[in-house]
Structure 1
Amino acid sequence: MRILRISTATNNRTGGMSRAMYCAGDALIAMGHQVDYLFGEHWQVSNSVYLRRLAVPLQIPALIYSLAQKGKQYDIVEIHEPLAAPYCFNRKINKNLPPVVVFSHGLEKRNQLAELAYRQQKYLPVSLPLRFLRITVLQAMYGLRHCDHVICLNSEDIAYLQQIGVAKNRITQADNGVESQFLLAGAVLAQANLSRSGILFLGSWVLRKGTLDLVPAISQVMQRHPSLQFTIAGCGFDADTVLTDFAEDIRSRIQVIPKLSSNEKLIEIYRQHSILVLPSYFEGQPLTMLEAAAMGLVIVTTNICGMADFIENGINGMTVPVGDIESLTQSLDHLVSNPALAQCLGEAAREKVQAYTWKSAAKKIAKAYQQAIDDASKKN
């Protein structure tokens, strides 16, 4: 199968979305498929994410036509959800275009609804586009309804797709995977049975990741535990910018690492901590969660999206309601005070994540591709 995968993500194997695309793509190649990519660097448009999501979709149909004229034929085109609408529209006109699978890393409409609900919960300003209309969301919804198949990462997204009328046989849930490096490092660490401590937040320092709730929760826990260390990694901002959110008396115990450039550095960061905190109000299925599980960290996260699919509260981690600072604080404090419990829950997460391989993910993705191809051929 000849596959073209399209996204505006940065072409970077350490980035979240692009790393997931490459890992699944490598597994598809190992299965015998041909995989090509078009990442953000290909598109000659503004660096603004919003403008890219408006301009890039319009370029995709012409690009596919051009590649075909040059002899570059594909059996299937996979397009990131916000970019798919113009291609799906063109396919209605020209059935010779390859079938299209829309890949969602978290449904755009559900993200909008989650942000709106969160801002209202926290009495934050709500813009008119957020409340009523986002062009990128409209594009995404058209693509979801008119593509040949949809791949998404969690059961809540699947339920929403069916709610808006997307047929069940046009939807595939394909979990993310964990690279073997993390699984092996986690196994070695478990055998060593070393004592670990410290809380880790790994992700962009943005509202969606729950930073508004994280700061007061972490601050309270650090005040109660004077030796506790906290790390903020891969946040995209320098230490001076991030630390202004925290009281001066705890800043010396907070390490800020703006960027992580390799799996080895990621593994070293995980190895130094016992708890991963991820209080997002919306996600698809975060790689951070699965990698931390592979490394035996206990995960404290919100009870939504791909986190709810993986974490069973009190069994292999702890979940809290979105925006609930008190519950987040109590969960973190309980684990810091009970390292044996943290280790037990972390080990349960490590056992569960063994099944989350990129080979398994690629098999589901390839099956979705073939379903799209078969359904398209029946229509033609």
Structure 2
Amino acid sequence: MVPALPAGAGGFRRRGCGGERTGPPTDTETDRGRSWSVEVEQQRHRDGEGELQRADCRLQNVQGGMMRILYAVTVAGSAYNLLRGQLGWLRVRGHDVHLACAPGPELAAVAAREGVPVHPLPLVREPSWGRDLPALLAAVRLVRRLRPDVVFAATTKAGLVLMTAARLCRVRRRIRAVWGLRHETLHGRRRSVVRLAERASCRFANTVVAISPSIAARLQAESIAPSDRIVTPGPGTCNGVDARRFARIPERAAAGRALRRELGVPAGGLVIGFVGRLVRDKGIAELLSAFRRLRPRFDGLRLLLVGGFETGDALAASVRAELARDPGIILAGRVADPVRFYHAMDVLCLPSRREGFPNVPLEAAAAELPVVTTDATGACDSVAAGVTGLVVPVGDVAALTEALARLAAFPGLRRQM
């Protein structure tokens, strides 16, 4: 069970998925708040292991033996970042695990790390009948050849293609994991098409795994998935986070200080960090606007962006140009392991417009970093408002600026979170 939330912790009014909390914390609540972030991450890791163990038992009990499981995601990067350890965990317990996704530079790395065979499929993120039909035919051929006992598909396009193929091939156990709802930030016909694809993939599944309570609520509210098929793992998680990997130990703290010097952060300067894809849905434009407002108020302020630009959901050219030319903004690019970057930050900001259940706030909490995020679907589930971070309304630059300013101005509040 996740540790209880310290009542009133933080001393500020915070809005999140569960409403508002007010009032100054008592000494006992403050002490509890300081340790809560690491405690909850360790518990989430244990819960994640428990979920996998229970799932493993279910797989063994279905036929009295091990299963052939076909995982599917749209792009290899999703498998690399969001299925870390899960495929290998099942493999070492005797299951025959396969992965299907679009070709990409990370695909070989996933195969080597997890020790599972991979099957490239011609999947693309954007709707395209000319490319989706060949992908469906390829998926049907793959399912017929492998004859899996279970098909587990995440992300919108892989969900639609593989759930359809599994249904056509009469695979009995079809699991659709909803890692986010793309249509939330789309408009017009494109929104309708993506939402229809999401609905179809969930209807073709036996089980729909909503990775956060707010995703589950949205699936039911929009009638995307039947309520009796929706399950959420514990308090919500995509793949769990190993808190030990990110914990603030002396060696990692020293590596973080060295990285700050390497990046040219002035002594005493404050670093606001971001980890993720540099795209519109992550709220990069809002983060840039908030940073502009904060710079005159805090000497030596730096914005550290860890992640790469993408062509899908691309940032406006003006935003990208300003990120590149501002000397106070550090573009680290994509990194294989973000651990030392967390330890070079003072605050982690994830101003997303939509999420499923982001791992980044959990990783930051494990590194004892305070987090500022939004009340977007999924994001609001990843922070205990006033305890591990602050929650602001989606798209509200003024509120985002104020939340970051409070953490920048009060080191004690940062340490408490």
TM range (shorter): 0.7 to 0.9
Distance 1:280 1:192, change over 3 A: closer
What are structure 1's unaligned runs of at least 5 residues?
117-125, 346-380
Residue of structure 2 equivalent to 1:310 = 382
Distance 1:343 1:29, change over 3 A: farther
Aligned pair partner of 2:141 in 42, 54, 62: 62
Coordinate RMSD, CA, aligned: 3.1
Q: Distance in 1 between matches of 2:347 and 2:132?
A: 35
- 2:343 aligned with 1:259, yes or no? no
Q: Distance in 2 between matches of 1:3 and 1:46?
A: 19
Alignment of 1:145-294 (within 5 A): 145-163=203-221, 164=223, 166-174=225-233, 175-180=237-242, 183-189=244-250, 197-236=270-309, 244-245=321-322, 251-260=326-335, 262-263=336-337, 266-294=338-366
Distance 1:31 1:342, change over 3 A: farther
- SS of the aligned residue for 1:129 comes to helix
Alignment of 1:346-365 (within 5 A): none
Q: Is the 8 A contact 1:178 1:294 kept in 2?
A: no
- SS of the aligned residue for 1:4 comes to strand
Aligned pair partner of 2:195 in 133, 137, 147: 137
The CA deviation at 1:99 is 2.1
Aligned pairs, number: 312
Q: Is the 8 A contact 1:196 1:272 kept in 2?
A: no
Aligned pair partner of 1:18 in 71, 80, 83: 80
Alpha-carbon displacement from aligned partner over 1:248-283 (angstroms, at most 9, x marks no partner): 6xx2221101211x22xx111111012111111101
The CA deviation at 1:328 is 0.1
- SS of the aligned residue for 2:209 comes to strand
AA paired with 2:139? I
Q: Distance in 2 between matches of 1:280 and 1:144?
A: 24
Alpha-carbon displacement from aligned partner over 1:13-65 (angstroms, at most 9, x marks no partner): xx455322233223333444332111211446486744465652343122211
The CA deviation at 1:9 is 1.3
- 2:353 aligned with 1:295, yes or no? no
The CA deviation at 1:292 is 1.4
- SS of the aligned residue for 2:391 comes to strand
The CA deviation at 1:76 is 0.3
Residue of structure 2 equivalent to 1:99 = 173
Distance 1:92 1:188, change over 3 A: closer
What are structure 2's unaligned runs of at least 5 residues?
1-66, 104-118, 258-267, 311-316
- SS of the aligned residue for 2:385 comes to coil
AA paired with 2:232? Q
TM-score normalised by L of structure 2: 0.66
Distance 1:334 1:93, change over 3 A: closer
Q: Distance in 2 between matches of 1:90 and 1:274?
A: 47
Alpha-carbon displacement from aligned partner over 1:66-90 (angstroms, at most 9, x marks no partner): x1xxxx4321011224334455456
AA paired with 2:68? R
Aligned pair partner of 1:83 in 158, 172, 177: 158
- 2:172 aligned with 1:74, yes or no? no
Point out the structure with the larger helix share: 1
TM-score normalised by L of structure 1: 0.72
Q: Distance in 1 between matches of 2:137 and 2:180?
A: 22
The CA deviation at 1:221 is 1.1
Alpha-carbon displacement from aligned partner over 1:84-125 (angstroms, at most 9, x marks no partner): 445545655553x34211122113xxx32x314xxxxxxxxx
Residue of structure 2 equivalent to 1:371 = none
Residue of structure 2 equivalent to 1:115 = 185
Alpha-carbon displacement from aligned partner over 1:285-304 (angstroms, at most 9, x marks no partner): 11222211211111100013
